[in-house]
Structure 1
Amino acid sequence: MKQVLTIDNKVSNEKTKDKSASFLKGTLILTVAGIVVKVIGSLNWIFVSRVLGGEGIGLYQMAFPIYFLAFNISTAGVPIAISIITAERVAVKDIWGAKRVFHISMSLMFFTGLLCSLLTYFGAQWLIDWQFIRDPRAYYAVVALAPAIFFVTILASSRGYLQGWQRMTPTGVSQIVEQIFRVITMILFAQMLLPYGLQFAAAGASLGAVAGAVAGLLVLVYFHWKLNKDIDKQYGPVLAPPSSEPQESFWHIMKRIFKLSLPVSAASIMLPIVSNLDLMIVPQRLEAAGYSVNQATALFGYLTGMAVPLVNLATILTAALAVSIVPAISESRVLKDFDSCFRRTAAAIRIANFICFPAFIIVFILATPIATLIYNAPGAGPAVCISAVSIVLLGLHQITTAVLQGLGHPTIPMVNMIIAAVVKVILNWTLTAQPSLGIMGAAWATAADIGIAAFINLYFLYKYINYKIEIKQIMKNIIAALVMGLAIYFAYNIIKMELNNNAIATLGSIIIGAVIYIVVLLLEKGILESDMAAIPVIGRIAIRILRRLGIFKEISQE
């Protein structure tokens, strides 16, 4: 009897490991894809800027917010809703139901994408006549971007369905292909149309969004075909719904899509709303603190154009982790496996802390050297330094929001974001006007905004799955990060003094600090073998090495 129980436990553990490995494999794929896409995008702007110049880029940037708004309206959080509902159907082996969700949602997205695309196309002149777009030359760029809204809407929905099957490779590959074709088309058409005028060159650059979306969509067509082949192999041809499962009506599925997607959409709309509030408040309060208009504009640029992108760059992995965890949590919830919900949440937050704490220390200590190295703007140092605090809080917010969405409570993060935004507005108004703080006051307000939303999310995670922050584990991260911080501080100053080269000193001290962080964390047993085992390929190799070093104990196979 004891032996049977042991075998059952081993089987259960293997299943848990397989699920965790699948979940983290998806995260790894999306992280790599995110990095590749950002690198390609950064190189793209270098080449496009050389072709169009500041004025041409300005025309493109006048059109892009219209496209971005129309795309957000047309998708309205539907991809996440599709991912959640598909994962629920797959969890109970209702394959016919999962396919039905896909067909219904795609019909909806076809209609909304086409509508928003047509409205953008035919409304372009109206936007100029009513002075929403100040320069009439941007008309051609808006018109060129209009078809992209339709294709990107279909693309996003297709990704949501495949993510519901916990297949993240299609998203990663399609993102890279989309970006490559977008970049090639932008540069090619901008260069070809430049002789006809700057407005046509900007429109040519805008066509990159269309080409990229079509290319990404063609990639997903292949992955849909591959998924259907795998379904036929595993389940056989799925021609009818299972008689044992009551099927949801068309209108019930539509109602669920809207119920899940609208809060997500409202939360995503909060970001541009908060950005516009920052635009209205921060420069004005900087002037109240005694800065001139030009100084206030420069400081605002340091925060929004330099510090915030660095925070987003540092949380690429946690953003990917958030996308991967939504269908995984949905699957566990529909199976009423709340232990799995708890384990996956705990693992995701541990991984987020493992990445975000050292990233925070690096950016905090090397704020001015990093701002000098990347932007050639040492004046951005104070804004970057305080914004570093947001890295840990943003990682936590991304994961907790995704878990609550997976648990079927997307409204909670939206309400929390509204509460936090109100606090941010108050802090922006009061702190930014303090001469001793200035732009650092606005950075503190941003950190408070993210932190409040994250900690309220944590309260609801405790309420629904009894999750509490692992204080002991976090303390290990903090200790390792502090030791790393000391190493970085001294390493930077020594290298800078010896070589008088900021780039080598910055990169060298980061490498030294990262090695020390991992060593300290291993010595204090701050990395769990179970988490490492779930990381594809790299995890197994690392475990073997660490067992030989005696850091992890060899487990008996008997």
Structure 2
Amino acid sequence: MIQKNTIIKGAFVLTLTGVVTRLMGFFYRIFLSRAFGEESVGLYQLAFPIYALCFSFCAAGIETAIARSTAASRSLKDPGRTKAALYSGFTLSLLLAFALMLFIQKEADYLSCRFLGEPRCAPLLVILSLALPFSVMHSCIYGYYIGQKRTKLPALSQLLEQTVRVGAVVFLYWFFMDRSVHTGIALAAAGIVAGEAAAALYCLGNLRKAGDMASPERLPLGAYKKGLGEILSLAVPLTGSRVLLNILQSVEAVSIPVKLQAFGLSAGESLSTYGVLTGMALPCVLFPSAMTNSIATMLLPTVAEIQVTGDVPAMKRVIKKVFFCCFSLGLLFCLALVVTGNFIGRLLFHSAAAGHFIITLAWMCPFLYTNGCLLGILNGLGKTNISFAVNVTGLLLRIGSVFLLIPLFGIQGYLWGLLASQAAVFALCLAYLRFFFFTL
């Protein structure tokens, strides 16, 4: 009962924040599409995978490792182990972030021309790179508090990051418009820097104020080495997974406009179609997943704690309840989006294509909303290699649809690939969890 209440309480806080931030993000994307145009939104979306790849290398695996290590240490009542893991992971992540920031700033032109095939992305990459140190600080502290099941600071930091990001871009846009100064989509990249900086400084201030960063020298050097070893043992497969996934996602993002041109669209039409899909339709379909993502976030420390105690029946009960909750929610929103997709596309985005995309993507909602929780369970069990294999399988199906189906069927072929990918991840996760508990 305690575990259930903890998940519900933590998920409620994160869900409430997630709904608010996604609402802000939802209307923010409408603002971007109207202020800068679909093609500019497509450029922004094209540059973003490079930033996401660098972030994954610096922090994605380390954040999860800190969360799981903190949860296990909390269950064993070992604060020294918790601090050692936090400091070690934080320092490593920050060093990697600064190194990649300098690399991107130096090689932005090469990356934009050679890998993205679009020279106009270079200024966006330079600006986005400035957000890396702040984003990894935010990420590591976020993981630490999630591992302790203290969701107030993670929730407020997310809200602050989104508020500053959106507010800065909207303010600067109107500020320059009043002075008849032309601005481009680079403002959106600058907004990310502002948002991550605000969130990182807020998290650092609260961490120091709470005393969690006090007196690190009290721990012997051996404790930090042990903490670093623990973080690396968990983070390396996760980071490898996230990096490979982001490389594949980058290949996917770059290839979609190219393959749309092979289908017969012009370069401008290809970018516009890509912008409508990733900047309008997908955020709409992903919006309700704020709740399931929050549950998945709380599941990781909960499963890690239960695993330490060895209470298998309790773990099975938690997993079953979460599964049926997420799958039912996915079915509900699937029906809602199928019915209202065209209306949403016309009303919010003034785009018939967006409405068509929303209706097609709606059918993956039951799988999409459940997969986050299933993968969170696997990571909580420490099965990061399995999670990696499942994610790669799903992404390879998506990339296959890009190269094989888009030239034949246009963007519709990619939508079919997305649905097949989510269904495959769903089936593989269920199959492994059934095998895992059967062998216990």
C-alpha separation between the residues in 2 aligned to 1:282 and 1:44?
A: 23
In the TM superposition, residue 356 of structure 1 has moved relative to its aligned partner by 1.1
C-alpha separation between the residues in 2 aligned to 1:417 and 1:301?
A: 24
- Aligned partner of residue 397 in structure 1, secondary structure: helix
Cα contact 1:82–1:160 (8 A) shared by 2: yes
How many residues matched?
435
1:186 is aligned to 169
C-alpha separation between the residues in 1 aligned to 2:414 and 2:115?
A: 30
1:419 is aligned to 393
Identity, in percent, stands at 23
In the TM superposition, residue 179 of structure 1 has moved relative to its aligned partner by 1.4
Cα contact 1:174–1:220 (8 A) shared by 2: yes
In the TM superposition, residue 223 of structure 1 has moved relative to its aligned partner by 4.0
Deviations 1:114-154 (A, max 9, x none): 22222233434555686967446x65554443332111111
Deviations 1:375-417 (A, max 9, x none): 3334455543332221111122111110010000111021122
In the TM superposition, residue 447 of structure 1 has moved relative to its aligned partner by 1.5
CA gap 1:268/1:91 in 2 versus in 1, 3 angstroms: same
Q: Residue 11 of structure 2 aligns to which amino acid in structure 1?
A: T
2:155 is aligned to 172
Is residue 327 from structure 1 mapped to residue 310 from structure 2 by the alignment?
Answer: no
Cα contact 2:337–2:359 (8 A) shared by 1: yes
Kindly report which structure 2 residues correspond to 1:156-555, keeping only aligned pairs within 5 A, or say none.
156-191=139-174, 198=182, 205-225=188-208, 227-228=210-211, 249-269=223-243, 270=245, 273-274=248-249, 276-277=251-252, 280=255, 284=259, 292-293=264-265, 297=270, 303-426=277-400, 439-466=411-438
Cα contact 2:391–2:425 (8 A) shared by 1: yes
Cα contact 2:249–2:395 (8 A) shared by 1: yes
Cα contact 2:281–2:358 (8 A) shared by 1: yes
C-alpha separation between the residues in 2 aligned to 1:56 and 1:445?
A: 25
1:7 is aligned to none
Kindly report which structure 2 residues correspond to 1:97-136, keeping only aligned pairs within 5 A, or say none.
97-124=81-108, 127=111, 134-135=118-119
Cα contact 1:84–1:326 (8 A) shared by 2: yes
- Aligned partner of residue 77 in structure 1, secondary structure: helix
Cα contact 2:303–2:315 (8 A) shared by 1: yes
Q: Residue 87 of structure 1 aligns to which amino acid in structure 2?
A: A
Once the two structures are overlaid, the 10-residue window that deviates more, 142-151 or 454-463, is 142-151
In the TM superposition, residue 160 of structure 1 has moved relative to its aligned partner by 0.5
C-alpha separation between the residues in 2 aligned to 1:310 and 1:205?
A: 19
In the TM superposition, residue 79 of structure 1 has moved relative to its aligned partner by 0.5
C-alpha separation between the residues in 2 aligned to 1:416 and 1:58?
A: 28
Is residue 146 from structure 1 mapped to residue 121 from structure 2 by the alignment?
Answer: no
Cα contact 1:325–1:406 (8 A) shared by 2: yes
C-alpha separation between the residues in 2 aligned to 1:335 and 1:377?
A: 53
C-alpha separation between the residues in 2 aligned to 1:430 and 1:55?
A: 24
Q: Residue 311 of structure 1 aligns to which amino acid in structure 2?
A: V
C-alpha separation between the residues in 1 aligned to 2:117 and 2:419?
A: 32
C-alpha separation between the residues in 2 aligned to 1:445 and 1:458?
A: 20
C-alpha separation between the residues in 1 aligned to 2:57 and 2:119?
A: 24
C-alpha separation between the residues in 2 aligned to 1:175 and 1:348?
A: 24
CA gap 1:431/1:213 in 2 versus in 1, 3 angstroms: closer
Once the two structures are overlaid, the 10-residue window that deviates more, 151-160 or 118-127, is 118-127
Q: Residue 255 of structure 2 aligns to which amino acid in structure 1?
A: M
Is residue 77 from structure 1 mapped to residue 94 from structure 2 by the alignment?
Answer: no
RMSD (CA atoms): 3.9
The answer for unaligned runs of 5 or more in structure 2 is: none
CA gap 1:302/1:193 in 2 versus in 1, 3 angstroms: closer
Cα contact 1:166–1:324 (8 A) shared by 2: yes
CA gap 1:202/1:378 in 2 versus in 1, 3 angstroms: closer
In the TM superposition, residue 164 of structure 1 has moved relative to its aligned partner by 0.7
Once the two structures are overlaid, the 10-residue window that deviates more, 385-394 or 299-308, is 299-308
The answer for unaligned runs of 5 or more in structure 1 is: 1-16, 242-246, 468-558
CA gap 1:248/1:395 in 2 versus in 1, 3 angstroms: farther
1:481 is aligned to none
- Aligned partner of residue 293 in structure 1, secondary structure: coil
C-alpha separation between the residues in 1 aligned to 2:56 and 2:260?
A: 31
C-alpha separation between the residues in 2 aligned to 1:68 and 1:278?
A: 12
Cα contact 2:117–2:254 (8 A) shared by 1: no
**Structure whose CA Rg is larger:** 1
Cα contact 1:87–1:327 (8 A) shared by 2: yes
Cα contact 1:286–1:432 (8 A) shared by 2: no
In the TM superposition, residue 214 of structure 1 has moved relative to its aligned partner by 2.5
In the TM superposition, residue 108 of structure 1 has moved relative to its aligned partner by 1.0
1:31 is aligned to 15
In the TM superposition, residue 180 of structure 1 has moved relative to its aligned partner by 1.3
C-alpha separation between the residues in 2 aligned to 1:45 and 1:429?
A: 28
In the TM superposition, residue 22 of structure 1 has moved relative to its aligned partner by 1.5
In the TM superposition, residue 309 of structure 1 has moved relative to its aligned partner by 2.7
CA gap 1:48/1:354 in 2 versus in 1, 3 angstroms: closer
In the TM superposition, residue 33 of structure 1 has moved relative to its aligned partner by 1.2
Cα contact 1:78–1:257 (8 A) shared by 2: yes
Q: Residue 88 of structure 1 aligns to which amino acid in structure 2?
A: A
Q: Residue 161 of structure 2 aligns to which amino acid in structure 1?
A: E
Cα contact 1:282–1:428 (8 A) shared by 2: no
C-alpha separation between the residues in 1 aligned to 2:131 and 2:258?
A: 34
CA gap 1:85/1:185 in 2 versus in 1, 3 angstroms: same
Cα contact 1:142–1:203 (8 A) shared by 2: no
Greater RCO, CA 8 A, separation 6+:
2
Cα contact 1:106–1:154 (8 A) shared by 2: yes
Q: Residue 82 of structure 1 aligns to which amino acid in structure 2?
A: I
CA gap 1:210/1:430 in 2 versus in 1, 3 angstroms: closer
